[in-house]
Homo-oligomer: A and B are copies of this chain.
């Protein structure tokens, strides 16, 4: 079973991660099992150089796992091209109620756009192009749109929307 996925999108520097943190905390408070996915276009680093686990990845392991009583961590090389997001979510998030992603603005997933007037007057999804997958906007300033608008700090209101639309 693949859980529903909602993507938090914004122009860079608008505060996607801050809103994501609030939404994750709010959904957890309501008892949901939540996943978070971030895309990195570059060769990101995770783990700490010199640690045993890092050495195993460096040695060439296709998949490196660290298991512990509390959690499991994994670094897995893509066998070929980068898999599509929904395949990755199906593989690793089947046990969750909902997944929030950061970015993936060109995907066809439902989206919430974060907007700050000082960053940009225009929205990503209601600007030069009209993105029909946008379900709500979290903004720091008044807007007139064809979809619901929430205050940028209103994690509770946005969670109500997520629950109603994707978890009921």
Binding site for B on A (CB under 8 A): 17, 20-22, 24-25, 28, 33-48, 52-53, 55-79, 81-83, 85, 88-89, 92-93, 95-96, 99, 102
Contact = CB atoms under 8 A, between A and B. Distances in A.
Copies of this polypeptide in the complex: 2
Contacts of A64: 35-38
A80 to B, nearest CB: 10
A24 B59 contact: yes
Q: DSSP majority for the A interface?
A: mixed
Given A41-B68, A46-B66, A73-B75, A56 B82 contact: no
Given A28-B62, A73-B74, 9 more contacts: A21-B56, A35-B65, A36-B56, A46-B48, A70-B77, A70-B78, A71-B76, A73-B76, A79-B95
